[in-house]
């Protein structure tokens, strides 16, 4: 039927047209069914039904779709019922725990890209993926589809080294250090990172404290080829866009299906033309990977998938039971990161992790005894020089120092309520406190740890400091900190175990 | 923070507020997070983020929510971040295939009722339910929660008989016949039915051809107690509303999780205070239940659940490989149904099914040899008298006859393209054709079958007639019918099987 196109000026995560209930009855569409709009070009889109915001005979069309199909405001457009896309069958098949073919997977990925699947269907897809999973052949096809539906960056230099951390451990500010060391050794490492979704600070969140992270593809390519590396935000290019399109839904459901996670990592690396990849798998109570068993499984899968996709992949299982270093939050992490590049030997955990991982990449690139070489590059100041070169190329200040980083001006101390040893640190609680303080949106907000695991604190000692950009947030974060007690302090005697026979007599 | 409430005049299946991106950042909410609105009363609702349709400092609130919380247009209202409801944890637990407690199930049901869960979360819930299922203890708790979150109809008479058909077989117009027979025998049967979702005609769709189906609770109670029965639309009361709130999503995903289906049936019966329930389980290629094994499992579960919930439940597995009777579509089914009550012995399949099922209910009510008694009540005209009494009480014409029913005026014949026997009838194809003709919205639309399984047709004989309210739909349905060939006609020789040794030499 013909309906009059009207502009629907709404920003929605999910583009929809709105059609009057009577017209929907005529078209035979129900809420969440789809129609095809036949303009200069044709487009399939999900329908919302309304009695009030649209008149009978009209159809509200989002601006992006209007221009895509060449529709004109207030002019008629042909609207026909469109059956469910075939990809819905693939989703049903995964609900029934069946293995999907390459074509079925591609249809799903493509229909997500084209907004042909509703959020309800994508939610069911992710849930089915979470519960029923994929084998490595499916994941390799899934990865390839995600790459093919986006932009691919091609370099004139090869090999292309890359690095990824599975995340889940706060304070993991090693990326600029690793990139600077590797690039200083003469290898090219065009590293893209992400922003925080549920964490306190993603790599891009703290890098943009001292330079721009949104790089166009051409600029990223140029800096990488000439300077040797970048610390860019992956979202600034259109690489594997489908992954970004489902992240909101994953976040809302609190799931990150293994197949989605693996395909997400590898598709971004494949789109960056990586030939060699090191994956850091932090393991510990608060991270994505709880046990060595699980970490090994991820490592095996990543290496097998890497082989299938033509990326030589190695993995490092790292200690993730407490934050890496002492700083959590954009400015705090940026300062700690630059300080280490400037020659500070502390926090030792950051130095050690960065050098060991950079060393593995160097060895993949043919450098013998990589970890020693990495330490040399760091201690000699070559890494700092390379870091400054990259930061400047990305629009940062010339001769950047850690003194340039401004922290939040409102600081609350959190003190030990008893004497003893730090038995454990709850990563998730620290993230909640840092977020309450304003991280990652407020660049100055975060946490500076003065005690870490195994260290002794006397009652009244400062355990950590909360930084914030205003007093209200600093106080709110402190209140949460007092409630959560993220650092567990106990004496050496943890629990008295009474004699079982004495127990019986109670 | 305080935002200025503005009326959001949109009809949406899912109520949401719209907040400017900058305010969302301040509140710490992402797309699909929730806020609590603190007005005269407080309400938690999902947030949509916009740059354009809402100004910074304003919040768009749907009309229903405005009045619920006592907010006033253009006046400030307090808006605070609201963490995920606890029910999200229950959904996650079901994703991980764990058994849910009574409280966890109740939280999910209650949060769906209160619009605290987004459609994305409900989709994940239904998908997890579809894949991981529930045991009968969980389903009983689920049922009870669905009852408790809605209206319950209490009768002054007891026992209360009820009847339900799992559906999936077209033309199943037996409900008014069963109710009339049972009520004529002196038992009370306040039967509520549904409208078609994906089928060509639900019971309520054809009953409303001759009387009103939307009855208020008080009226339903009065008619049931005085006349002995009703044929009401379940949706006209607020019984088990949560079930209706998820149907759209189930439909969109093309799934009906077993636990949801069982809880849906039993919650509606429990809300109607049923003490005795007969469930008809049509079995056959096009129905929900494909095999005898599966049908028996449903029967076992329904009886066990009935016991747990205090409803004496019996089941009848019935033949569902082809439509029941010859008519499909509202007016056509209404006419066939009334004709049988008027004394027509045909179609025999309808008479037989209605009497056998009514007989089982009579026996549950202590009437010996129920099926024989049911046939007596039907053939003596007592069922017709009772039917007319009920229809009139529901606002229908006095002394209703089958002649009063008006069929669609546009009829297309579909003829046999070859001679042979009807080997099979595809229920789903018939539904697609009837819907294309306009059923169930167009009351006159549908299909009248002139041949059924096992019958012979010569080339050119009319196999079935398509009825419609206008020529275009009649033609569209005929085109689809010609394409689908829902009646499979073959000679007695179905397939020649060549000698295997001859095959090898090919």
Q: Is B192 helix (H, G, I), strand (E, B) or coil?
A: strand
Whether residues A128 and B126 touch (CB distance < 8 A) is answered with no
User: B498: which 2 tokens?
Assistant: 């060549």
Q: List, edge to edge, every strand of the sheet that includes B462-468.
A: B327-328, B446-449, B462-468, B410-415
Q: How far is A119 from chain B (nearest CA, A)?
A: 6
Q: Which pLDDT tens digit goes with each residue over B141-198?
A: 999 999 999 999 999 999 999 999 987 789 999 999 999 999 999 999 999 998 887 7
Whether residues A32 and B252 touch (CB distance < 8 A) is answered with yes
Whether residues B252 and A127 touch (CB distance < 8 A) is answered with no
How many Cβ atoms are within 10 Å of A131's Cβ, its own excluded? Answer: 22
pLDDT band for B216, please (50, 70, 90 cuts): very high
Q: Name the β-bridge partners of A277.
A: A162, A313
Q: Where are the beta strands (DSSP E) in B13-145?
A: 16-20, 34-38, 42-50, 58-62, 76-82
Phi (first) and psi of residue A421, to 5 degrees: -110, 145
B83 and A CB contact within 8 Å = no
Whether residues B31 and A13 touch (CB distance < 8 A) is answered with yes
A348 and B CB contact within 8 Å = no
B12 and A CB contact within 8 Å = yes
Mutate to test the interface with B, among A17, A50, A124 (most CBs of B within 10 A): A124
Chain A residue numbers with beta carbons less than 8 Å from the beta carbon of B127 are 95, 123-124, 127-128, 131
Residue of B113, B117, B181 lying closest to B373 (CA atoms): B181
Q: For A124, which of B11, B48, B127 is closest by C-beta distance?
A: B127
Q: What b/e readout covers B313-332, taking b as 16+ CB neighbours within 10 angstroms?
A: bbbbbbebebbbbbbbbbbb
Q: Which pLDDT tens digit goes with each residue over A318-350?
A: 988 889 999 999 999 999 999 999 999 888 889
Whether residues B128 and A126 touch (CB distance < 8 A) is answered with no
pLDDT band for B53, please (50, 70, 90 cuts): confident
Q: For A441, which of B25, B50, B435 is closest by C-beta distance?
A: B25
* Confidence at residue B296, expressed as pLDDT on a 0 to 100 scale: 92
What's the average model confidence in pLDDT over B365-392? 96
* Confidence at residue A506, expressed as pLDDT on a 0 to 100 scale: 44
Q: How far is B357 from chain A (nearest CA, A)?
A: 34
pLDDT band for B45, please (50, 70, 90 cuts): confident
CB pairs under 8 A between A and B: 125
* Confidence at residue B493, expressed as pLDDT on a 0 to 100 scale: 65
Q: Which pLDDT tens digit goes with each residue over B421-438?
A: 998 899 989 999 999 999
Q: Kindly state the percentage of chain B with pLDDT values over 70.
A: 96
Chain B residue numbers with beta carbons less than 8 Å from the beta carbon of A130 are 95
Chain A residue numbers with beta carbons less than 8 Å from the beta carbon of B118 are 252
* Confidence at residue A452, expressed as pLDDT on a 0 to 100 scale: 93
Whether residues A10 and B132 touch (CB distance < 8 A) is answered with no
Whether residues B128 and A127 touch (CB distance < 8 A) is answered with yes
Q: For A253, which of B9, B124, B132 is closest by C-beta distance?
A: B124
Q: For A10, which of B32, B53, B249 is closest by C-beta distance?
A: B53
Among chain A residues, CA nearest to B131: A95
* CA pair distance B81, B36, nearest whole angstrom: 6
B157 and A CB contact within 8 Å = no
Chain A residue numbers with beta carbons less than 8 Å from the beta carbon of B48 are 12-13
Query: Does the pLDDT of residue B404 top 60, yes or no?
Result: yes
A472 and B CB contact within 8 Å = no
More reliable by pLDDT, A369 or A287: A369
Query: Does the pLDDT of residue A206 top 80, yes or no?
Result: yes
To the nearest whole number, what is the mean pLDDT of chain B? 90
User: A336: which 2 tokens?
Assistant: 């700690």
Maximal C-alpha separation, chain A:
88
Give Cβ neighbours of residue B408 (< 8 Å, ≥ 6 apart): B329, B331, B437, B438, B442, B444, B445, B446, B467, B468, B469, B474
A9 and B CB contact within 8 Å = yes
Whether residues B127 and A95 touch (CB distance < 8 A) is answered with yes
A53 and B CB contact within 8 Å = yes
* Confidence at residue A25, expressed as pLDDT on a 0 to 100 scale: 82
* CA pair distance A247, A256, nearest whole angstrom: 9
Chain A residue numbers with beta carbons less than 8 Å from the beta carbon of B432 are none
B119 and A CB contact within 8 Å = yes
First to last CA, chain B: 82
What's the average model confidence in pLDDT over A98-105? 97
Q: Which pLDDT tens digit goes with each residue over A23-70?
A: 888 887 877 788 999 988 888 888 888 777 788 999 988 888 888 888
Query: Does the pLDDT of residue A286 top 80, yes or no?
Result: no
Whether residues B12 and A48 touch (CB distance < 8 A) is answered with yes
pLDDT band for B305, please (50, 70, 90 cuts): very high
* Confidence at residue A90, expressed as pLDDT on a 0 to 100 scale: 95
- DSSP letter for B505, please: T
Query: Does the pLDDT of residue B496 top 80, yes or no?
Result: no
* Confidence at residue A210, expressed as pLDDT on a 0 to 100 scale: 97
User: B242: which 2 tokens?
Assistant: 């949560």
Mutate to test the interface with A, among B1, B8, B11 (most CBs of A within 10 A): B11
pLDDT band for B311, please (50, 70, 90 cuts): very high
More reliable by pLDDT, B10 or B21: B21
Chain A residue numbers with beta carbons less than 8 Å from the beta carbon of B477 are none
* Confidence at residue B247, expressed as pLDDT on a 0 to 100 scale: 85
User: B135: which 2 tokens?
Assistant: 């045991």
B411 and A CB contact within 8 Å = no
* Confidence at residue B114, expressed as pLDDT on a 0 to 100 scale: 86
Whether residues B123 and A123 touch (CB distance < 8 A) is answered with yes
Q: Report in angstroms the alpha-carbon separations of A144 from A18, A305, B358.
A: 35, 11, 59
* Confidence at residue A54, expressed as pLDDT on a 0 to 100 scale: 84
Full-model pTM: 0.82
* Confidence at residue B10, expressed as pLDDT on a 0 to 100 scale: 64
Q: Which pLDDT tens digit goes with each residue over A148-167?
A: 999 999 999 999 999 999 87
Task: Tell me the torsion sign for CA atoms B109, B112, B118, B122.
Answer: positive
ipTM (interface predicted TM): 0.78
Chain B residue numbers with beta carbons less than 8 Å from the beta carbon of A84 are 254
* Confidence at residue B499, expressed as pLDDT on a 0 to 100 scale: 60
A482 and B CB contact within 8 Å = no
* Confidence at residue A495, expressed as pLDDT on a 0 to 100 scale: 57
Among chain A residues, CA nearest to B88: A253
Q: Kindly state the percentage of chain B with pLDDT values over 90.
A: 66
pLDDT band for A447, please (50, 70, 90 cuts): very high
A128 and B CB contact within 8 Å = yes
Q: Where are the beta strands (DSSP E) in A144-216?
A: 161-165, 189-193
Cβ atoms of A354 and A178 closer than 8 Å: yes
Whether residues B255 and A92 touch (CB distance < 8 A) is answered with yes
More reliable by pLDDT, B213 or B502: B213
* CA pair distance A464, A199, nearest whole angstrom: 18
Among chain A residues, CA nearest to B48: A12
* Confidence at residue B492, expressed as pLDDT on a 0 to 100 scale: 65
Residue of B334, B402, B343, B347 lying closest to B375 (CA atoms): B343
Q: For A252, which of B121, B132, B441 is closest by C-beta distance?
A: B121
Whether residues B132 and A131 touch (CB distance < 8 A) is answered with yes
B295 and A CB contact within 8 Å = no
A80 and B CB contact within 8 Å = no
Whether residues B248 and A30 touch (CB distance < 8 A) is answered with yes
Per-residue 3-state assignment (H helix, E strand, C coil) for B428-468: HHHHHHHHHCCCCCCCCCEEEECCCCCCEECCCCEEEEEEE
* Confidence at residue B506, expressed as pLDDT on a 0 to 100 scale: 44
How many Cβ atoms are within 10 Å of A423's Cβ, its own excluded? Answer: 14
Phi (first) and psi of residue B111, to 5 degrees: -70, -30
């Amino acid at each position: 039927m013909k309906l009059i196109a009207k502009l629907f000026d709404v920003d929605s995560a999910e583009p929809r047209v709105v059609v009057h209930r009577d017209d929907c009855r005529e078209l035979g569409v129900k809420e969440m069914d789809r129609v095809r709009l036949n303009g200069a070009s044709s487009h399939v889109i999900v329908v919302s039904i309304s009695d009030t915001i649209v008149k009978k005979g009209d159809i509200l069309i989002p601006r992006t779709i209007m221009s895509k199909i060449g529709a004109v405001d207030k002019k008629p457009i042909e609207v026909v019922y469109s059956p469910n896309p075939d990809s819905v069958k693939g989703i049903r098949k995964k609900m029934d725990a069946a293995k999907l073919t390459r074509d079925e997977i591609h249809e799903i990925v493509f229909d997500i890209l084209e907004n042909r699947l509703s959020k309800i269907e994508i939610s069911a897809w992710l849930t089915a993926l979470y519960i029923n999973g994929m084998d490595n052949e499916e994941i390799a096809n899934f990865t390839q589809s995600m790459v093919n539906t986006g932009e691919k960056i091609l370099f004139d230099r090869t090999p292309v080294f890359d690095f990824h951390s599975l995340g889940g451990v706060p304070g993991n500010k090693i990326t600029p250090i690793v990139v600077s060391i590797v690039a200083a050794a003469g290898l090219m490492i065009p590293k893209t990172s992400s922003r925080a979704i549920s964490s306190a600070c993603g790599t891009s969140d703290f890098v943009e404290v001292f330079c721009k992270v949104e790089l166009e593809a051409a600029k990223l390519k140029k800096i990488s080829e000439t300077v040797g590396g970048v610390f860019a935000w992956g979202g600034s290019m259109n690489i594997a866009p489908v992954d970004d399109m489902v992240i909101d839904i994953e976040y809302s459901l609190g799931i990150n299906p293994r197949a989605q996670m693996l395909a997400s990592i590898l598709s971004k690396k494949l789109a960056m033309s990586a030939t060699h990849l090191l994956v850091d798998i932090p393991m510990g109570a608060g991270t994505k990977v709880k046990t060595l068993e699980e970490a090994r499984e991820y490592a095996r899968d990543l290496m097998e998938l890497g082989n299938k996709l033509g990326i030589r992949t190695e993995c490092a299982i790292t200690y993730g039971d407490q934050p890496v270093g002492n700083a959590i939050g954009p400015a705090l992490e940026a300062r700690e990161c630059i300080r280490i590049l400037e020659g500070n030997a502390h926090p030792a955990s950051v130095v050690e992790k960065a050098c060991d991982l950079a060393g593995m990449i160097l060895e993949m690139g043919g450098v013998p005894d990589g970890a020693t070489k990495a330490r040399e590059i760091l201690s000699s100041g070559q890494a700092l020089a390379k870091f400054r070169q990259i930061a400047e190329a990305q629009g940062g200040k010339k001769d950047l120092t850690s003194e340039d980083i401004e922290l939040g001006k409102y600081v609350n101390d959190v003190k030990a309520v008893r004497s003893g040893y730090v038995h454990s640190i709850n990563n998730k609680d620290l993230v909640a406190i840092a977020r309450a303080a304003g991280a990652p949106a407020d660049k100055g907000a975060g946490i500076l740890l003065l005690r870490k695991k195994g260290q002794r604190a006397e009652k009244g000692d400062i355990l950590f400091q909360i930084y914030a950009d205003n007093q209200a947030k600093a106080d709110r974060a402190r209140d949460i900190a007092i409630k959560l007690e993220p650092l567990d302090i106990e004496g050496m005697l943890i629990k008295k175990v009474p004699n079982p026979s004495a127990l019986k007599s109670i």
